[in-house]
């Protein structure tokens, strides 16, 4: 039987029980990588200055269909560059969307639906920005 795949947990930390680098299972690691990409601004990481989507720079932009389209484009470009091959669908919902989920005014909700390569199971990550 093959042991379950383990990767470094994010945020990086020392596990209090083992006194070693904290580990995360494969599914949790992929979820953490997507969240890192969505919530990191380009230039924020010294070792990877291009990493990130820059969504926080759009926080004060007027909430509109154009903003939702810009966010979707940035997310798709970032995911394609850094996590190619796993993303199925990216949805961006605004607080102003009729019939959408109840969001605070000025909030965007980004949902990334993806397939775990190792297990071929579908997963989703949702992040609210605003």
Q: Between 19 and 11, name the one with better pLDDT.
A: 19
Q: Between 28 and 1, name the one with better pLDDT.
A: 28
Whether residue 128 has pLDDT greater than 60: yes
* Residue-level pLDDT at 51: 92
* Residue-level pLDDT at 99: 58
CATH number (1.40.20.10, 3.20.20.70, 3.10.450.40, 3.40.50.300) of 6-129 reads 3.10.450.40
Assigned token pair, 99: 């019939």
* Residue-level pLDDT at 72: 93
pLDDT (tens digit per residue) in 53-66: 988 888 778 878 88
pLDDT band at residue 77 using 50, 70 and 90 as cut-offs: very high
Show Cβ contacts of residue 37 under 8 Å, excluding neighbours closer than 6 positions. Answer: 51, 52, 53, 78, 79, 82, 83
pLDDT (tens digit per residue) in 79-110: 999 988 788 899 988 765 555 566 777 788 89
Q: How far apart are CA 43 and CA 128, in angstroms?
A: 22
């Amino acid at each position: 039987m093959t042991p379950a795949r383990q990767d470094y947990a994010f945020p990086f930390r020392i596990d209090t029980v083992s006194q070693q680098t904290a580990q995360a299972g494969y599914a949790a690691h992929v979820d953490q990588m997507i969240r890192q990409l969505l919530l990191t601004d380009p230039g924020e990481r010294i070792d990877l200055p291009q990493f990130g989507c820059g969504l926080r720079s759009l926080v004060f932009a007027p909430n509109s269909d154009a903003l939702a389209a810009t966010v979707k484009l940035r997310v798709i470009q970032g995911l394609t560059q850094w996590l190619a091959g796993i993303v199925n669908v990216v949805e961006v919902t605004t607080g102003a969307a009729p019939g959408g989920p109840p969001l605070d005014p000025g909030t965007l909700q980004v949902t990334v639906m993806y397939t775990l390569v190792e297990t071929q199971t579908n997963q989703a990550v949702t992040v609210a920005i605003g």
